[in-house]
Amino acid sequence: MRRLLVPLMLGLALLPGFSVAEMPELDSVAVVKREAVREFWLDGVVEAINQTTLSAQTRGQVEAILFDVDDYVEKGQVIVQLKDTEQRAGLDQARADLKEAAARLQESRDDFKRTKDLFGRKLASQSQLDKSTAALKSAKARKEAADARLAQAKEQFEYTRVKAPYSGIVTHRHVEVGEIASPGQKLMSGISLDQLRVSVELPQSLIPVIRAQGKARVLLPNGEAIQGVRLTIFPFADQSSSTFKVRVDLPERVKDLFPGMFVKTAFMTGVKKELVVPQEAVVYRSEVTAVYVVDQDRRVRFRLIRAAEHPVDGMLSIIAGLSEGETVATDPVAAATRLKQQLAESRNE
Whether residue 331 is predicted with pLDDT greater than 50 in this model: the reply is yes
Give the CATH number of the domain where residue 23 resides. Answer: 2.40.420.20
Residue 172 and residue 124 share a domain: no
Residue 136 and residue 12 share a domain: no
Q: How confident is the model at residue 108 (pLDDT cuts 50, 70, 90)?
A: very high
CB 69 within 8 A of CB 309: no
Query: Residue 13: what pLDDT?
Result: 44
Give the CATH number of the domain where residue 57 resides. Answer: 2.40.50.100
pLDDT higher at 29 or 311 = 29
Whether residue 290 is predicted with pLDDT greater than 50 in this model: the reply is yes
Query: Residue 9: what pLDDT?
Result: 43
**Residue 54 to residue 186: CA distance in whole angstroms:** 6
Residue 172 and residue 55 share a domain: yes
The number of domains in the chain is: 4
Residue 339 and residue 206 share a domain: no
Helices marked H in 159-281? 207-213
Nearest to 174 by CA among 309, 54, 270: 54
Look up the pTM and report it: 0.64
**Residue 68 to residue 27: CA distance in whole angstroms:** 57
Residue 104 and residue 169 share a domain: no
Instruction: Please give the span between the terminal C-alpha atoms of the chain, in angstroms, as a whole number.
Output: 33
Residue 265 and residue 245 share a domain: yes
**What are the distances in angstroms from CA 247 to CA 168, 172, 202, 214?**
21, 25, 10, 11
Whether residue 236 is predicted with pLDDT greater than 90 in this model: the reply is yes
Residue 153 and residue 134 share a domain: yes
Whether residue 21 is predicted with pLDDT greater than 80 in this model: the reply is no
Nearest to 287 by CA among 314, 305, 260, 268: 305
Residue 124 and residue 185 share a domain: no
User: Given 193, 216, 249, which residue is the final one in a domain?
Assistant: 193
User: Given 241, 269, 297, which residue is the final one in a domain?
Assistant: 269
Residue 175 and residue 308 share a domain: no
Residue 338 and residue 277 share a domain: yes
Predicted confidence (pLDDT) per residue in 22-53, tens digit: 566 888 999 998 887 888 999 999 999 999 99
Residue 213 and residue 181 share a domain: no
CB 304 within 8 A of CB 291: no
Query: Residue 44: what pLDDT?
Result: 96
Residue 205 and residue 168 share a domain: no
Strands 315-320 and 262-278: antiparallel
Residue range of the domain that includes 244: 41-50+194-269
Q: Which helix (H) or strand (E) holds 16?
A: none
Given CA atoms 207, 210, 214, 220 in this order, what sign does their dihedral have?
negative
User: Given 269, 292, 312, which residue is the final one in a domain?
Assistant: 269
**Residue 39 to residue 274: CA distance in whole angstroms:** 13
pLDDT higher at 284 or 347 = 284
Of 115-129, 138-152, 333-347, the range with the lowest mean pLDDT is: 333-347
Strands 196-203 and 78-82: unpaired
Nearest to 292 by CA among 306, 282, 278, 277: 282
